[in-house]
Structure 1
Amino acid sequence: MSAKRMDLNRRTFLVLSGSSNPLGQSLALEFCRRLATGSLALILDEDQQQLRELESLLQNELKTDAVKVKTGRLDKTHSNGVQLMEQALQDYFEEGKQNSFERSIIVHNEGQAATHVLLEPQTDEDWKSYVQQQLYAPVALNQSWLQSKHLAKVEKLAVNVTSSLMIRPLVHAGLLCSCKRARDMYFRAMAAEEYRFGVHVLSFSPGLMASHQSQCDVNGNRITPADLIASKELLQLPRIQPRQATLKLINILEEISFVSGHDVDYYDTFVL
């Protein structure tokens, strides 16, 4: 596969899933700033209050009607994401939009999984519920996006926000690590299978965020990142602000170039 660059200033259908953490909010703002007139951005999350605040932020910051922003509240299992996406597309074209999209981008962000209570569910139902939300739901949304009749013959880019840290075995995070590793393999396989249909895939690790503070385990005990990370080298890496990570991702897409199916870590280079 050859290296690929993308000018984001195209008429785009953007889907961002997992917008409730600071990185998700930055991704929504910076991507929407660059999309061309006639674009549609669908922002998904289960936190209704965060969705309202992000929608208000986008309206104030963009100060233009070039990009239409819609929000959708995910249910507890995130299984309704497919319906929210298809409804947004149907509404868009029923409003008399004559021009089809030039590109579609789907970004699978972590949402609250990046800063949530550290948890090792003990019952079968807890495990199934977690895997449904963190693995099955994103895959189902992705597959529907690939097969949508509204996006037929449209160039596609899928961005999997992952973590070079969280796919390693960590104390208190075995289930999260397992789901992330499975998601990473799914996106690698998708890159190989869908490349011939104009689908590009990038897995991006945004670095150790400044917002990754002390957390609680299931029993309420305070856990610091140092308790989870054994590597002194990793702990010495600079903390990253959400906008830094977002601009790095955009720079990779538009300037540096990427190879579909490959992983890129923020720390691979400090050059923005």
Structure 2
Amino acid sequence: MSSSERADLGRALCVITGASRGFGRTTAIEMSRLVKPGSVLVLVARSADDLRSLQAELAESDAGKAGLLVKCVVADLAQMEGPESVVSASKEVFSEDLDHIILVNNAASLGDVSRFAKSFTNMAEVDSYLSFNVSSSLCLTASILQAFPQRPGLQRTVINVTSLCALKPFCSWVLYCTGKAAREMMFRVLAEEEPDLRVLNYSPGPLDTDMQLVARSRTGDPSLRKTFSDMFTGGRLLTCEASCVKLMKLLLEDTYTSGAHVDVFDL
């Protein structure tokens, strides 16, 4: 541990979207180990069963036994009521002795990667994708910031789980690349506007998740599909745990430039 690295994330309210599986689930588990007793985790996803399973696991953990409160919010963030329900639940469990608000914008979908850009003529299909992957993230972030304004003694951190696809075009991934690029710019603007806010665009790398399974089986571009398959068969995918440990180290060190894109392979 470096001399500047702190030992924990404080007594925190952590809101994590897409928390039922994959990187979001792992983030919830890792954060639970780094927050002080009395902290609260608000876990958001569409799957009630998966959220309850994670809640039960956390209740049995050392953090759970030490008083960590875990609240589940079953919500579709693509609908207007989704972000509203998350904010409402967060207000219910917030107490004045909390000293850190952490929002992890992890929820995302891959979109139809079997098709190329020229096939997307249906505006409703594109709007639906962007509503879940871009609009909901901005509206939830803005609502959380309004609900918990800056005050002395309160740190606020917003994390956007991003991707190399925010920076580089991938053939047949037009929706995903567009969504990630838009989200990343959104958080870069936020960092410029809110100097007291800590904003991080974290790219967790190629993870061994259900999304990667879809990528290597359904990607329309044959060269890209082969790349993903070779990464899997060659054992070059990262575990969610390995990537998440690096994210936690970034948060503890707290020396990144606000709004920066930080890739797991840069660490």
TM-score range, shorter chain: 0.7 to 0.9
CA shift, 1:189, in A, is 0.7
User: 1:104 matched to which residue of 2?
Assistant: 101
State the secondary structure of the residue aligned to 1:42: strand
Distance in 1 (alpha carbons) for counterparts of 2:220 and 2:36: 42
Distance in 2 (alpha carbons) for counterparts of 1:80 and 1:5: 38
**Relative to 1, partners in 2 of residues 1:9 and 1:66: Cα closer, same or farther, differing over 3 Å?**
farther
Residue 248 of structure 1 aligns to which amino acid in structure 2? K
**Correspondences of 1:127-138 after superposition (within 5 Å):** 127-138=126-137
Distance in 1 (alpha carbons) for counterparts of 2:87 and 2:214: 36
State the secondary structure of the residue aligned to 1:260: coil
Of 95, 118, 125, the residue aligned with 2:113 is: 118
Instruction: State the structure with bigger RCO (CA 8 A, min sep 6), 1 or 2.
Output: 1
**Relative to 1, partners in 2 of residues 1:109 and 1:89: Cα closer, same or farther, differing over 3 Å?**
closer
Q: Does residue 179 of the first structure (1) align with residue 179 of the second (2)?
A: yes
Distance in 2 (alpha carbons) for counterparts of 1:223 and 1:82: 31
Distance in 2 (alpha carbons) for counterparts of 1:29 and 1:192: 31
**Correspondences of 1:236-255 after superposition (within 5 Å):** 238-255=236-253
Greater fraction of residues in helix: 2
CA shift, 1:216, in A, is 6.9
Structure 2: gaps spanning 5 or more residues: none
Distance in 1 (alpha carbons) for counterparts of 2:98 and 2:48: 28
CA shift, 1:227, in A, is 3.5
**Correspondences of 1:97-246 after superposition (within 5 Å):** 97=95, 99-111=96-108, 113=109, 118=113, 121-148=120-147, 150-153=148-151, 154-165=154-165, 167-195=167-195, 198-211=196-209, 212-215=211-214, 222-223=218-219, 227-228=223-224, 238-246=236-244
Identity of aligned residues (%): 25
State the secondary structure of the residue aligned to 1:165: helix
CA shift, 1:128, in A, is 1.1
Residue 28 of structure 2 aligns to which amino acid in structure 1? A
Aligned residues: 253
Structure 1: gaps spanning 5 or more residues: none
Distance in 1 (alpha carbons) for counterparts of 2:221 and 2:15: 30
**How well do the aligned residues superpose, as a CA RMSD in angstroms?**
2.9
**Relative to 1, partners in 2 of residues 1:216 and 1:254: Cα closer, same or farther, differing over 3 Å?**
closer
Task: Output the TM-score relative to the length of structure 1.
Answer: 0.81
Distance in 1 (alpha carbons) for counterparts of 2:192 and 2:57: 37
Q: Deviations over 1:142-182 (max 9, x none)?
A: 0011111x444132101111001354222221011111101
Decide whether the 8 Å contact of 2:77 with 2:83 is kept in 1.
Answer: no
Residue 89 of structure 1 aligns to which amino acid in structure 2? S
CA shift, 1:59, in A, is 1.4
Task: Output the TM-score relative to the length of structure 2.
Answer: 0.83
State the secondary structure of the residue aligned to 2:164: coil
**Relative to 1, partners in 2 of residues 1:216 and 1:41: Cα closer, same or farther, differing over 3 Å?**
closer
